[in-house]
Amino acid sequence: MTVMSATAPARQQKPDAAPQSGARLLISTLENLGVEVLFGYPGGAIMPVYDALAGSKLKHILVRHEQGAAFAADAYARKSGKVGVCMATSGPGATNLVTGIANAMMDSVPLVCITGNVAQGLMGTDAFQEIDILGVTLPIVKHSVIVRHPADIPAAVEEAFHIAASG
Q: Tally the domains of the chain.
A: 1
Domain contains 73 = yes
Domain contains 12 = no
Domain contains 14 = no
What CA–CA distances, in Å, run from 126 to 129, 147, 161? 8, 19, 30
Q: What pLDDT is attached to residue 54? A: 93
Q: What pLDDT is attached to residue 130? A: 66
Domain contains 142 = yes
- Distance (Å, rounded) from C-alpha 8 to C-alpha 11? 9
Domain contains 32 = yes
Cβ distance 96 to 66 under 8 Å?
yes
Domain contains 101 = yes
- Distance (Å, rounded) from C-alpha 141 to C-alpha 118? 21
Q: What pLDDT is attached to residue 73? A: 99
Find the CATH number of the domain harbouring 53.
Answer: 3.40.50.970
Domain contains 9 = no
Q: Residue 134: give the domain boundaries.
A: 22-165
Q: Which residues of the chain have pLDDT under 70?
A: 1-18, 118-120, 122-125, 127-130, 167
- Distance (Å, rounded) from C-alpha 1 to C-alpha 147? 7
Q: What pLDDT is attached to residue 135? A: 79
Domain contains 83 = yes
